[in-house]
Amino acid sequence: MPHRHWAFSIPRALRGLFERERKLLGLLSRTGYEAIRKSFQGLFERNDVRPGCVMSIQTFGAYGANFNPHLHAIVSDGVFTPEGEFLPLPSLDTAAVGELFRRLLLARLHQAERLSERFRDQLLSWVHPGFSVFAGPAIEPTAVESLESQARYITRPALAMDALEKRDDGSLAMQTPPDPRTGAVMLVFDPLEWIHRITALIPDPGQHNQRYYGAYSNRARVRAQALQDLAAPPAQARPANQDSDFAKEARRTWARLLRKIFEVDPLLCRCGARMKIVSIITDPRIVDRILRHRESERCQAPDPFESRAPPCNTALPLP
């Protein structure tokens, strides 16, 4: 099915609130999804359908070291029924999603006692509210590279390391996009100021910056597979060891993905030759047997020309 890239941003007046209390970023993420879900359900006039959504929480802005909490998401360009049928969107109104997102977030912050009623009403009265919702063009199912590029974009780091340069006086210069007011393309920081800014972007312990909602949540996937197995005749029920086409494709591309992320080719042998995948072993018992065998080989016949730890399971002779 097609997907679409979404982005949600909030006004400056609220950014400090999320910087002081990071757990509110989860509320921000849930509100972004709820605005999409409610809008999509309204288009179909059904409350039992759900879109598939992968939400990424980002706390940095275009200038790398400035705190700017916002959301990026890859969302199915349609909804899934409880039976697993996909229904494409008949139309799209990002302005309506943006207004719903603004009202939902302010209401939830007020309910959580983080906004006074007066300040909430003041924000609702602004002609230019400062909230922004963007939806990119639909990405067709066959455009795998485009979808992968969007996924890399929404999970990118705060800045590229080559954008930072240490000067002779000890200060740090960072390249930035042109400032819309001054046109400056570089910021200069004292080292301590830089440390303060960059560490402010580190997530709290246990906080996940990528979240899955709707039809792409773990609970929904497990439930959908269970319903499918129950509905299928016994002769057509999926065996426990049979994987989906997606899982098979993921196994074929694991080496390519590791090479992209870690810049290391896992199929390159130490001798320089290219290894070939003979089979994929997933049974834990077989994996343990292979590892035990490899360990016993290492202990019994180590390479005499290779540095190694003390021999395994050996005792010194008694005097």
Which of residues 304 and 290 earns the better pLDDT score?
Answer: 290
> Which of these, 220, 238, 223, lies nearest to 54 by C-alpha position?
220
Q: Is the pLDDT of residue 54 over 70?
A: yes
Tens digits of per-residue pLDDT, 221-230?
A: 666 666 666 6
What is the largest distance, in Å, between two alpha-carbon atoms of the chain? 91
Q: Is the pLDDT of residue 237 over 60?
A: no
pLDDT at 32: 95
Q: Is the pLDDT of residue 190 over 80?
A: yes
Q: Is the pLDDT of residue 311 over 70?
A: no
Tens digits of per-residue pLDDT, 111-125?
A: 999 989 999 998 888
pLDDT at 292: 87
195's CB contacts (< 8 A; 6+ apart) are: none
Kindly state the average pLDDT of the residues 11-18. Answer: 91
pLDDT at 282: 81
Choice among 89-93, 230-234, 235-239, 256-260 with the minimum mean pLDDT: 235-239
> Whole-angstrom Cα distance, residue 227 to residue 224?
5
DSSP states along 258-314: HHHHHS--TTB-TTSPBP--------HHHHHHHHHHHHHHHHHS--TTS--PSPTT-
Which of residues 79 and 301 earns the better pLDDT score?
Answer: 79
